[in-house]
Amino acid sequence: MNSLRDGVRRITGALPPWAFAAAAVVVVLVIPFTSPPRLVQLTIIFGINALLAQSINVLTGYAGQISLGQAAIYGTGAYGTAVMSVQYDWPLWASVPAGIVMAIIVGALVSIPAGRVHEFYLAMVTLGLGILAFTIFRQWGEVTGGFSGLGNIPSPPLGSLTVFGYTLGLVSYFYVTVVLVVVVTWLLANILKSHVGRSFVALQESELAASTLGVNPARRKRLAYVLSAALAGIAGVTYAHVVGFVSPDAFSVNASIAILVFAVLGGMRTLAGPFLGAALLTYLPDQLQAFSEWQHLIYGLILLFSFIVLPRGLAGLFPYRTSLIHHRVDRRRDEKAEPAEVQPAEQSRDGAAAAGVAEGDVLLEVRDVVMNFSGVRALDGVSISVRKGSIHGLIGPNGSGKTTLLNVVSGVYKPTSGQVSFGGVRADGRKPHQVATLGIGRTFQHPLVFDELTVRENVVVGAERLFRSRLVQLLFGTRAAVREERRMVRSAEAAIERVGLEELREALAGGLPFGRQRLLELARSLAGEPLLLMLDEPAAGLAEDDLVELASLLQTLRDGGMTVLLIEHHMDFLLRLVETVTVLDQGEVIFDGTPAAARSDERVLEAYLGASAAATGV
């Protein structure tokens, strides 16, 4: 199977991706001149199915949110315009947007419970929505027409589709649909290849890492639901006006499964995949009318086996990867970089306070922090002051509370009691993404890289807190948005070069060796231009050469005004770098002072260095 797939990939790889897209558009455009009306209508249905598959692609493929109830949103769009135009005589220009808005509202409402649950429960919530919507379509007879559906919707077959005095026939409607699909796909591509699309994938790969880089998980998931609902809603209104009739059966749970199959078979997290899946499953069943009774069985089998036969869907037969960096920026990738126009990071209002702290003054203040886990007191009244422009070491035996302290400062844990202030602003009680916007960056003891993103994409996600473009700017790929993207990509490239990963910038992060992943995490944090960088054992897994480079990088960062809080078991490495060291033991601070004093402090030697003093020569 694999060799067959590789063979197909070699053949498809002979042509650039745009050649396939151009050929598809040409084929579609000649259809009205060469085909019977039935095929013209079927091609409109293909466009609708592609939009539906794209709606799952955004929600599940990119944002990792399962939906078993997409037909509910699709149906809301269709019934929305149908009811408004048939029951209330609204003109098309009003009923169509109304249907789309209704679908978006349902999507936004679903995102509320969905934002709080994961996987299995999310599947149940969305399945519940599907059943609920189906029941409403069927039972709310006086509005929806009940079981027998709602007819007489303005449509080409009835000759009643009139917009501003023009009556649209099937061919005109066909071209309207083509333009709609092309424009919607362009808008979608702009969003998915922006920091929003990258953060969708980042959240899916590691919500913890993404949120500590400034991605707001609840807000992003809400946005994914809204975008997905907008696509399904557009598909719904297009459907209602091409068929001229809506009935509950078109929006049943079976329809939700079919939409899922379009996306899975086509291949998710690519822009082309949903088109491929929708094309195959629109035109093929039409040719195999005799098998129509078996349609759902076939969909079930495809879902069962696609992960084995075509794990990346039909799109996996093409050797392309959809980059998550805006195409206008990506195209210039190999040009010799113009001088990096890295601009000073804009700070949030609270971050500005920290930026204003003078060199040598206290930047991070931890006061009497207690952190209890059921039965374990990981931190027991810890106080630390980290001065601006210093490298501050944090050491202690295993289990002494170092990582817990980092988690408290970065908002991953809410302390049981005590305070954390950053630049005089209270930081405890804030969520991780809010702490990140203050200007606090961190790495993890076990690197949390976004496996399916390239090194470059990973590092640009690190700049999340610095992006200012608004959603509309991203949607239309305005010059300002592209300029910002370009600036962030440049500073990401600079961060990659700083850690020496430039040769690997197009490699997928998941395939990197452990030590490279550590450096990648460091570069990712640097892209966010933090005021305070907290590193959890950055030297672990690095070769001697890399250690020397890392030490010199940290010194350069410090000299540039950055403050570093460094946890490290590698004593030689740490004690040579830091100005101040705090030693924790069993959740308490047992020493705070210079490295020289630490080397001769009895409590330190006893608690921590005792065992390794001989080995490290301390």
Ligand X SMILES: Nc1ncnc2c1ncn2[C@@H]1O[C@H](COP(=O)(O)OP(=O)(O)OP(=O)(O)O)[C@@H](O)[C@H]1O
Binding site for ligand X (CB under 6 A): 373, 376, 378, 396, 398-404, 445
In the complex, least distance from residue 425 CB atom to ligand X, rounded to whole angstroms: 25
Residue 323 or 445 having the CB closest to ligand X: 445
Residue 273 or 432 having the CB closest to ligand X: 432
Residue 423 or 587 having the CB closest to ligand X: 587
In the complex, least distance from residue 400 CB atom to ligand X, rounded to whole angstroms: 4
Give 151: exposed, middle or buried? Use CB within 10 Å, 0-12, 13-18, 19+: middle
The phi and psi torsions of 448 (rounded to 5 degrees) equal -110, 80
DSSP 488-551: HHHHHHHHHHHHT-GGGTTSBGGGS-HHHHHHHHHHHHHHT--SEEEEESTTTT--HHHHHHHH
Per-residue three-class SS string for 103-138: HHHHHHHHHHHHCCCCHHHHHHHHHHHHHHHHHHHH
What is each CA distance from 284 to 42, 53, 298, in whole angstroms?
11, 16, 12
In the complex, least distance from residue 515 CB atom to ligand X, rounded to whole angstroms: 18
In the complex, least distance from residue 413 CB atom to ligand X, rounded to whole angstroms: 7
CA distance 266 to 279: 9
Per-residue b/e over 357-396, b at no fewer than 16 CB within 10 Å?
Answer: beeeeebbbbeebbbeeeeeebbbebebebbbbbbbbbbb
In the complex, least distance from residue 381 CB atom to ligand X, rounded to whole angstroms: 15
Residue 373 or 514 having the CB closest to ligand X: 373
| Strand-pair partners of 589 | 584
In the complex, least distance from residue 540 CB atom to ligand X, rounded to whole angstroms: 10
In the complex, least distance from residue 406 CB atom to ligand X, rounded to whole angstroms: 8
Residue 179 or 376 having the CB closest to ligand X: 376
In the complex, least distance from residue 8 CB atom to ligand X, rounded to whole angstroms: 47
Residue 272 or 409 having the CB closest to ligand X: 409
In the complex, least distance from residue 404 CB atom to ligand X, rounded to whole angstroms: 3
What is each CA distance from 492 to 171, 219, 332, 365, 558, in whole angstroms?
48, 24, 15, 30, 19
Residue 328 or 377 having the CB closest to ligand X: 377
How many helical (H) and strand (E) elements, i.e. helices and strands, does the chain have? Answer: 27, 12
Residue 529 Ramachandran class (φ > 0 left, ψ -120 to 50 alpha, else beta):
left
Q: Which residues contact 265 (CB under 8 A, 6 or more apart)?
A: 276, 277, 280, 281, 302, 306, 310, 313, 314
Residue 457 or 536 having the CB closest to ligand X: 536
Residue 93 or 373 having the CB closest to ligand X: 373
CA distance 532 to 213: 13
CA distance 578 to 566: 8
Closest of 567, 543, 518 to residue 409, by C-alpha:
567
Considering only CA atoms, give the Rg of the chain. 28
CA distance 257 to 67: 9
Q: Which residues contact 156 (CB under 8 A, 6 or more apart)?
A: 168, 169, 170, 172, 173, 242, 244
In single-letter form, the type of residue at position 576 comes to R
In the complex, least distance from residue 374 CB atom to ligand X, rounded to whole angstroms: 7
The number of beta carbons lying within 10 Å of the beta carbon of residue 543 is 9
Residue 37 or 399 having the CB closest to ligand X: 399
Q: Which residues contact 325 (CB under 8 A, 6 or more apart)?
A: 193, 198, 456, 457, 460, 485, 489
CA distance 353 to 351: 5
In the complex, least distance from residue 402 CB atom to ligand X, rounded to whole angstroms: 4
In the complex, least distance from residue 568 CB atom to ligand X, rounded to whole angstroms: 10
Distance of CA 503 to the CA centre of its chain: 25
Structure tokens at 493: 């490239």
Residue 493 or 568 having the CB closest to ligand X: 568
Distance of CA 607 to the CA centre of its chain: 43
CA distance 155 to 149: 16
In the complex, least distance from residue 376 CB atom to ligand X, rounded to whole angstroms: 5
Residue 399 or 541 having the CB closest to ligand X: 399
Distance of CA 218 to the CA centre of its chain: 12
Closest of 290, 294, 297 to residue 261, by C-alpha:
297
Residue 46 or 413 having the CB closest to ligand X: 413
The one-character DSSP state at 146 is G
What is each CA distance from 540 to 391, 414, 579, in whole angstroms?
18, 27, 21
Residue 230 or 564 having the CB closest to ligand X: 564
In the complex, least distance from residue 426 CB atom to ligand X, rounded to whole angstroms: 22
Residue 325 or 607 having the CB closest to ligand X: 607
Distance of CA 317 to the CA centre of its chain: 24
In the complex, least distance from residue 536 CB atom to ligand X, rounded to whole angstroms: 8
Residue 217 or 401 having the CB closest to ligand X: 401
In the complex, least distance from residue 554 CB atom to ligand X, rounded to whole angstroms: 19
